[in-house]
Structure 1
Amino acid sequence: MVCDTIVYHPTITRLIKFFDAAAGREKVLRLLQYLCRFLSIEKGGPTKQLERQFLLIRKVLRFLKPLNYLKLASKVYDNKLAGDAFVRYCNVWKNLAFALYLALDQINLLRMLKVISSTSLTGKMIPKWTNQSWLLSLFLGILMNGRKIQIAQRHIDEIKNAKKEGSGKDTDKDEEKKVLATVTKERYSAIRKLLWDSLDSLIVMNNLSYLKLDDGYTGLIGITTSLLGMQDLWKATE
């Protein structure tokens, strides 16, 4: 009886659902990877080796994942009636850039598994193009969410101004409250994603040697964005 209570507990059910998905396992491995990078400033060698192993497993889990983002880009492009045109096009190109990043990363995986040999192309140019594609995707995400914040703020201001100008019916006021709550939530979500993409862009710029951050800082940034990703996936299991 006690065993059944534990097994069928809602939290345990959500936890099973979270780890049952490849995305959930990949996010946990990402957290562990950046935790190892952070700890490497103290521990050195052993944590560096663990970091590489976690990275390799993540790349395996993401095999063929570019197809997901190509499909998502196609869906966003086909939905011509939805939302702001700037947001839509940024979203399309963001997903295409991320699909390219994941596709190039499959070549990095094959190199790490020694399926293909390490040359100047596979060992230097492909990793560089991989990070540049990721950075482009993040930059487009920042632009997209910046625009979303602008649209949401304008909508919030319009609702607040309408409130000041007229009393209206109670039913209208209730509807206004619901709309205001929805738009405020959308603004928060866009701000959160903008900060998330901005933090990840620091990691990529460091990979490309545009910045000179040590492992402690990149580890902390990676831990933060990994937790944000896990939080989103955890909410999706509700």
Structure 2
Amino acid sequence: MSVQKPQIINSELPICPHNPNVSVSQIQGRKRPVPPPRVISSHLNPHESNGEIAVGKKATAPLLQSPGGVERARQTPGSRPSFIHFASLQRCLPTRWLARKMSTLDATRAELGLVVLYLNKAEARDKICRAIQYGSKFISNGQPGTAQDVDRSTTLARKVFRLLKWVNDLHGLISPPAKGTPLTLVLLGKSKNALLSTFLFLDQFVWLGRTGIYKNKERTDRIVRISLYCWMASSVCAGLVELGELKRLSKSMRKLSRELKGADKYENDQYKSKMKQSDERLLALVKAAMDVVVAVGLLQLSPKKITPRVTGAFGFVTSLISCYQQLPSRAPATKVKA
């Protein structure tokens, strides 16, 4: 078997049948065209251009990382340079978004915790039912209907919350007063506790009569009026106590303001605490005065002036004040020193 020898191509002979003037040596001597160098702007350094990259007609931008993937800044011929901000890309990072969502979730959980703490109080639930009761009384205006039925059923339901509640005021009655309290305020405070405890104690018999356990209706109505008189008298005593405490607070605040002549009194913690106490006392005074009007309306001592609608309006406002007073106190924001 014969082996075919490779043919030796003469470099001087033409190899292109269409162009006989092109030889092998001419093709081997040619070089590939070199592309023009890329013109990169000096603004590619983000430290020298405040985080911006300028892309011109002949410039290409480096690869940039974005939440959607890797993108290359392109520039069409004849268009103006575009600027890409690194800070705007950092704001779109998923970690920032997730951290913001987590902080919102923590704040929502804290607020729900305060709501749960508020609703766990029997006194808070009682005041919410009281607002429903007097709101229904305001709507019904003493006329039969759905609103009056809601008023009566809520009134009966509230009495369950007040079973044995008279023990609280009995404890306040036998507790020693605070040091430095004037004798007049001490007597008024003890009278308020005694009257309110009597009202709550008699209210249990009213509940027995309203549910049908106690059959004597006339005696039940008499107990209702006696208990309401006790509540009205306790509200009067509470208002007088708040007036006396406000007078004492105003004197102490004036004395403290004279001592803080060279400084801003509104920046003083003691002065701010007294101002907060004064606001709370003033709100309690308004509530006590309105409770007296509600008691007069329930007793029908002035039926022409204090109608069921007026009684319902005043009772609804005092219920909202009571709900506000039962709100849990928030922790003060701490200042972080740099």
Label 1:219 to 1:157 Cα distance change in 2 as closer, same or farther (>3 A). same
Hey, what's the Cα distance between the residues in 1 that align with 2:213 and 2:106? 45
The reply on whether 1:233 has 2:326 as its aligned counterpart is yes
Contact in 1 for aligned 2:208/2:214 (Cα 8 Å): yes
5+ residue gaps, structure 1, are: none
Aligned to 1:97: 195
Aligned to 2:218: 120
Contact in 1 for aligned 2:232/2:295 (Cα 8 Å): yes
Label 1:51 to 1:20 Cα distance change in 2 as closer, same or farther (>3 A). same
SS in 2 for 1:115: coil
Query: What letter matches 2:145 in structure 1?
Result: G
The reply on whether 1:222 has 2:300 as its aligned counterpart is no
Hey, what's the Cα distance between the residues in 1 that align with 2:163 and 2:181? 32
Cα deviations across residues 69-128 of structure 1 (Å, max 9, x unaligned)? 1112222xx2452533322222222111111000011111000011111343222x2111
Q: Is the deviation greater in 109-118 or in 175-184?
A: 175-184
1:45: Cα distance to partner?
0.9
Hey, what's the Cα distance between the residues in 2 that align with 1:6 and 1:177? 32
Query: What letter matches 1:157 in structure 2?
Result: R
Q: 2:271 aligns with which of 180, 184, 196?
A: 180
Q: How does 1:114-193 map to 2 (within 5 A)?
A: 114-123=212-221, 125-164=222-261, 167=262, 177-193=268-284
Query: What letter matches 2:272 in structure 1?
Result: A
Hey, what's the Cα distance between the residues in 1 that align with 2:107 and 2:272? 36
**Which structure has the bigger radius of gyration?**
2
Cα deviations across residues 9-59 of structure 1 (Å, max 9, x unaligned)? 122112122222211211110011111111113984111011111111100
Hey, what's the Cα distance between the residues in 2 that align with 1:119 and 1:34? 24
SS in 2 for 1:83: coil
Cα deviations across residues 166-208 of structure 1 (Å, max 9, x unaligned)? x4xx6xx779822222222222211111110000110101122
Hey, what's the Cα distance between the residues in 1 that align with 2:257 and 2:117? 41
TM-score norm. by structure 2 comes to 0.61
Aligned residues: 228
Hey, what's the Cα distance between the residues in 1 that align with 2:136 and 2:266? 49
Contact in 2 for aligned 1:34/1:220 (Cα 8 Å): yes
Query: What letter matches 1:210 in structure 2?
Result: L
**Superposed CA RMSD:** 2.7
Q: 2:134 aligns with which of 30, 34, 38?
A: 34
Hey, what's the Cα distance between the residues in 1 that align with 2:321 and 2:314? 11
5+ residue gaps, structure 2, are: 1-100, 332-338
| Paired-residue identity, % | 19
Query: What letter matches 1:12 in structure 2?
Result: L
Hey, what's the Cα distance between the residues in 2 that align with 1:93 and 1:118? 30
Q: 1:14 aligns with which of 114, 120, 127?
A: 114
Hey, what's the Cα distance between the residues in 1 that align with 2:266 and 2:143? 57
1:62: Cα distance to partner?
0.7
Aligned to 1:200: 291
TM-score norm. by structure 1 comes to 0.85
